[in-house]
A and B are shown apart, each in its own frame.
Chain A
């Protein structure tokens, strides 16, 4: 079905532009007077010195979670690397000494230059080993190496960091696997 949108017909005073222009000038004049005498109402933050709080549900840079002994939770199952649409996760698996673990990541590299920040790796992980909640806004670098995250950089953070900040999204699981909670969350919506 074709819907025809007709151009608004300008008639009378509106065609002379004068009234419309004066109305527009009055609107901007109100902004001028308000901002001139009440600068405290401006939303601007003086950025590098003052920063706004980052919400806890912020999807930021990646980090790897740790077990109690400090080793990475990751078992190098490759689910995140497989689900990644940008192919930015490179995992090199090694055989683990622990009898309950088959593998561990010898090397875990995320190339932020390729990453599209879709969050699919976090949803794919069955062990909640990878999260994207580092509250950094700018992580640009001068060299390529500055924005390629190695396993050491990803493991710098403690598990407790960032998790229980105010406004934390309860639908995002803390210690249990991501998938089950996500399915429950979808059920609740229905």
Chain B
């Protein structure tokens, strides 16, 4: 196989994978949002949708919602601009999915003479392209508001464009400081730079060489701007239902509305993965480099097993506690035992993984399997880091109230903008002395 064919196969495979990652995260995120809201407000959350009594902790509600929205009438009002009206949801969704194509999710595999990259496009100025694509997201909202021919939609989309443009400024300047620290602009090089220990003025600091430690101010500015860019609380003035009905998607129904809804969550997933890549070291495991991991891949497999065991144990405890507390008096048919069975299965999985650990420690792997194991561990690391941000999105949404419009603009222009400018200057001074 020549390198061109291999590269083409690589790109196609990774494009399908990267396209599906946010799409698979969306139902999970909707579930997490509902359950997170419930649990923060001392409620139980959705639990009633079931198939033959099996409820799966309310996960089936997402499927029920999707079926409902698919079969609803797709209304196009007479007073809209048809082209923009139809285009807007597709635009939002596409722009939300594309930036992930530039993110590496694990270090490349060496298969024979070829290099299999876990990245669709290893573009040399990838970070700039990433922000260029993200910047197009505002058009989806604006097309929707303009095409709806409705004053509330227009107000919502005007707010959204003003907000997204203002915060893009702070975001861009935060990124400038990060780029100065890494002295790289390709996303894969930025991730590779973040392996190993942090060095400051020739001293080794006992911290991983991550963006969040190199440049904490840029991280905070980027985090706040990312919340504003994805139009999430406390910056969700775009759909402030108390003021402007539902904002830009007032006139939308059925699957077009669902596309906007999904685009919001896809934006969140992408923003979380980008933040994990730029500031939490991407797929890097703290304190160890990829080379060290590949030479000790049996330990990497042990780490995977132990992580699985811990996650299963915690999930099992949570499910078992619920099975006990709810008494399952509401369940019928298979649902009576469902929670107990699932918790026992989780405990069994945790035990199995723990028992496998001593066996795995004695194993030695060849070059390719060890690379695959390390890639799996790195993917777990990246998505684990992304999950932290995804939970933060949910957690902040159900904690903070919405900002007023003037507060929003003050924060963007009078705090984040000068802070990131100052940060660039300080970063420059520090770099010139190292």
**Do A46 and B400 have beta carbons less than 8 Å apart?**
no
User: Chain B residues with Cβ under 8 A from A17's Cβ?
Assistant: 411
**Do B399 and A43 have beta carbons less than 8 Å apart?**
no
At the interface, yes or no: A180 with Cβ under 8 Å from chain B? no
What are some 5 contacts across the A-B interface (CB < 8 A)? A24-B399, A28-B395, A28-B399, A32-B36, A42-B44
Given A21-B400, A39-B321, A50-B329, do A44 and B44 touch, yes or no (CB 8 Å)?
Answer: yes
**Do A37 and B42 have beta carbons less than 8 Å apart?**
no
At the interface, yes or no: B398 with Cβ under 8 Å from chain A? yes
> Once bound together, how far apart are the Cα atoms of A36 and B325, in whole Å?
11
Among B39, B326, B329, B398, contact of A35 (Cβ-Cβ < 8 Å): B39
**Do A25 and B330 have beta carbons less than 8 Å apart?**
no
How many residue pairs at the A-B interface have CB separations less than 8 Å?
Answer: 56
User: Chain B residues with Cβ under 8 A from A37's Cβ?
Assistant: 317-318, 321
**Do B318 and A36 have beta carbons less than 8 Å apart?**
yes
Shortest C-beta distance, B359 to chain A (Å), equals 32
A binding-site residues for B, Cβ under 8 Å: 16-18, 21, 24-25, 27-29, 31-32, 35-40, 42-44, 46, 48-50
**Do B39 and A32 have beta carbons less than 8 Å apart?**
yes
> Once bound together, how far apart are the Cα atoms of A108 and B318, in whole Å?
55
Given A24-B399, A25-B395, A25-B396, do A32 and B317 touch, yes or no (CB 8 Å)?
Answer: no
> Once bound together, how far apart are the Cα atoms of A32 and B397, in whole Å?
14
**Do B322 and A39 have beta carbons less than 8 Å apart?**
yes
Among B41, B325, B330, B415, contact of A39 (Cβ-Cβ < 8 Å): B325
User: Digit string of B337-352 for contact with A (CB within 8 Å is 1, else 0)?
Assistant: 0000000000000000
Closest to A35 in B: B39
**Do B399 and A25 have beta carbons less than 8 Å apart?**
yes
User: Chain B residues with Cβ under 8 A from A42's Cβ?
Assistant: 42-44, 325
> Once bound together, how far apart are the Cα atoms of A44 and B330, in whole Å?
13
User: Digit string of B363-400 for contact with A (CB within 8 Å is 1, else 0)?
Assistant: 00000000000000000000000000000000110111
Shortest C-beta distance, B30 to chain A (Å), equals 18
User: Digit string of B27-48 for contact with A (CB within 8 Å is 1, else 0)?
Assistant: 0000000001001111110000
User: Chain B residues with Cβ under 8 A from A21's Cβ?
Assistant: 396, 399-400
User: Chain B residues with Cβ under 8 A from A38's Cβ?
Assistant: 321
Shortest C-beta distance, B326 to chain A (Å), equals 7
